[in-house]
Amino acid sequence: MNNRIRNLGIIAHVDAGKTTLTERILFHTGRIHSIGEVHDGTASTDSHPLEQGRGITILAAAVTCDWQGHRIHLIDTPGHVDFTVEVERSLRVLDGAIVVLDGVAGVEPQTETVWRQADRHRVPRLVFVNKLDRTGANFERSVAEVASRLGANPVPVNWPLFDGDDLVGVIDLVGQRELRWHHSDRPSTPTALPVTLSDNLQRARDRILEVCADEDPAVLDAVVAGRSISSETLWAALRAATVTGRIVPVLAGSAYRHRGVEPLLDAAVALLPAPSGSASAPLAALGFKVTFDDYGQLTFVRVYDGVLEKGQAVLASRGGRKLRVGRLVQLTADERTEVSRLEAGEIGAIIGMPLAGGETISSPEHPVELEAIRAPDPVMRIAIEPVTGADREKLGMALQRMVAADPSLRVETSPETGQTLLAGMGQLHLEITVERLALEHGVKVATGQPLVAYRSTLGKVTQVTYRHVKQDGGPGQWAHIVIEVGPADRGAGLVFDNRIKGGAITREHVRGVETGIKQAMNDGLCGGHPVVDIKVTLLDGAMHVSDSSELAFANAGRFAFRKAAASADPTLLEPVMSLEVTTPESHLGSVVGDVGRRRGQILGLDVRADDRVVKAEVPLAEVFGYASALGTLTHGRGRFTLEPARYERAPG
């Protein structure tokens, strides 16, 4: 049954048309019978009131539909960088992805981000160049940017078909036929006719033959001998190249105008991989996302092996808890269809089961632990204060649920003021979170000004010897360590090097030292900002016959680190953002000058259709309120994207 399942995600830059495409897929597969629109707030997968009000996707939505005898589990992901964790955990459980490009804008910054995420998870993908009905759209330029900006090997398998300036269909380069739709304002069944390829399109088909010949010796023999090759043979060879990542097939269309949706579905079924798990194997599943509603907790789950059944006893592997499965459902946005079981390869949800996000669900007799889902570190904080006493009573539970549902959120306490701080991926992320607190949990909070999530690190190497001795009437604490502390590469976190020899201290004591150092790093330097990117070498140690313990060495590690860090040139780091601004030529000078005044560095200038694109890096502290500033500079005609790049030493 697995070969008839496809677990796919739709990923893209914001406003490329992901949700519109998802809506058309649901219609053409018969899953829905009336079409909603993003701009009207009626799209099926944008079911949350905030999504409907803002016209953007905030939460990844899972839908299930059928096409040509195949079951498709589809996840529509957000395009805004502030909600990148939704893309990250979706790609973690998907077997393939459809990357949507705006045919006018081409490859945009968030496209590059989601592409890197898909690379990291080794997810095969197709590219759908959307909005080719728009003025300024250019299919060939978009294909070229897939190669130049994403480093991929794009192979168009169909080509846009125009009647004058009107996009009327696509040319199927594999089957050598044209598919023409006859209505521009409503769905219709395309007419398929044989076509004679122009020189340009023949070159595109020759590219397909070249790729297929590399995969299948029979295709190579047929090409050399001049024999015809069936479409089925070419699709099979293209699939082999796609699944291994050697090529990225590219398709053309306009989802809004219903052009190219059916060929895209055909290609997704033909080219993207089926799940590899077995229903006869012991259960292995991943609860990859948690949400809460009036009915309690809903845990999205992907079954990799075995079968997950209603009433089944399972093990939550990380927590070490045995639980019983309650209700199982499959989803189309907020619509739920109860099922009795989910088999290997399927995606669904468990209602009411107390699982943490990223938890592995396995058979108690065959426990396994799947790789955890990585959440990015937040770059911005706001102080929040409950408005009323009733809000104060509900705030703790509401925040606990919000963080469980969104692991890119953090709740912290200011060491100076004792205020509750909400940390997230950006201003929009935090605004949406505050609105969701009120809408979903009935908790209203007042917020302070956004604050930059600074970090601290060390600038030089230093060595300390520290002896921890504590006698207070009970069991004593005694620990002696020698550590060397210094900087590590950016992004390294903590590099802990144990050089204890001859059993000077036990493995348990070494673990205690590392634990204490991590605690000290979280306590922070330079005003309490967490410490990152350091190397600590445990050089030597000694222990007491009766008073040494893991706790004693944890305390020694914490205090020794603080002592060493104080003389190791502690340095404040600030988040630097990648900024891309699209502006008319007439406002280019103003935009570039403004970036300079914000301590920004211009990385390059590009031309995109009639606009100029400014690529820069700017400290986050300098771009609060940038949307209104850019609107003033460009008379409302400029647009921008902002995403975290890295941390750098802060001036002063």
Kindly report, residue by residue over 481-508, the tens digit of the pLDDT.
999 999 999 888 899 999 999 889 999 9
Sequence-distant (6+) residues with CB within 8 A of 646 are 490, 491, 575, 576
Which 8-state DSSP code applies to residue 306? Answer: S
Helix (H) or strand (E) holding 315: strand 313-316
Kindly report, residue by residue over 233-276, the tens digit of the pLDDT.
999 999 999 999 999 999 999 999 999 999 999 999 999 999 98
**24/124 same-domain check:** yes
Query: 236, 271, 306: which is the final residue of a domain?
Result: 271
**247/317 same-domain check:** no
- What are the counts of helices (DSSP H) followed by strands (DSSP E) for the chain? 15, 35
Domain assignment present for 630: yes
Name the one residue in this structure whose structure tokens are 């404040």. 572
Whole-number Å distance between alpha carbons of 622 and 616: 13
Query: 534, 553, 568: which is the final residue of a domain?
Result: 568
Show the domain range for 432.
380-453
CATH of the domain at 613: 3.30.70.240
**448/467 same-domain check:** no
Q: Quick count: other Cβ atoms within 10 Å of Cβ 271? A: 25
Give 418's Cβ-side CA count (13 Å radius).
0
Is the Cβ–Cβ distance between 107 and 145 less than 8 Å?
yes
CATH of the domain at 486: 3.30.230.10
Whole-number Å distance between alpha carbons of 127 and 125: 7
| Of residues 284, 458, 470, 308, the one with CA closest to residue 362 | 284
- The reported pLDDT for the residue numbered 157 is 97
Over 60: is that where the pLDDT of 47 sits?
A: no
**447/466 same-domain check:** no
Domain assignment present for 278: no
Q: 199-215 and 231-243 helices cross at what angle (nearest 10)?
A: 70
Is the Cβ–Cβ distance between 368 and 284 less than 8 Å?
yes
**pLDDT confidence of 568, banded at 50, 70, 90?**
very high
**300/190 same-domain check:** no
**160/56 same-domain check:** yes
Domain assignment present for 372: no
Average pLDDT value for residue range 406-413:
88
**303/196 same-domain check:** no
For 395-461, the DSSP string reads: HHHHHHHHHHH-TT-EEEE-TTT--EEEEESSHHHHHHHHHHHHHHH---EEE---EE--EEEESS-
CATH of the domain at 407: 3.30.70.870
**36/141 same-domain check:** yes
**pLDDT confidence of 161, banded at 50, 70, 90?**
very high
**617/474 same-domain check:** no
**124/166 same-domain check:** yes
**213/246 same-domain check:** yes
Query: 507, 534, 568: which is the final residue of a domain?
Result: 568
Helix (H) or strand (E) holding 118: helix 109-120
CATH of the domain at 194: 3.40.50.300
Over 80: is that where the pLDDT of 414 sits?
A: no
Kindly report, residue by residue over 518-552, the tens digit of the pLDDT.
999 988 888 788 999 999 999 999 999 889 999 99
**pLDDT confidence of 407, banded at 50, 70, 90?**
confident
Domain assignment present for 349: yes
**Domain count of the chain?**
5
Is the Cβ–Cβ distance between 551 and 508 less than 8 Å?
no
Domain assignment present for 367: no
**pLDDT confidence of 627, banded at 50, 70, 90?**
confident
Domain assignment present for 368: no
Helix (H) or strand (E) holding 20: helix 18-28
Domain assignment present for 218: yes
**pLDDT confidence of 82, banded at 50, 70, 90?**
confident
Between 25-34, 174-183, 265-274, 321-330, the lowest mean confidence (pLDDT) is in 25-34
Domain assignment present for 424: yes
**62/130 same-domain check:** yes
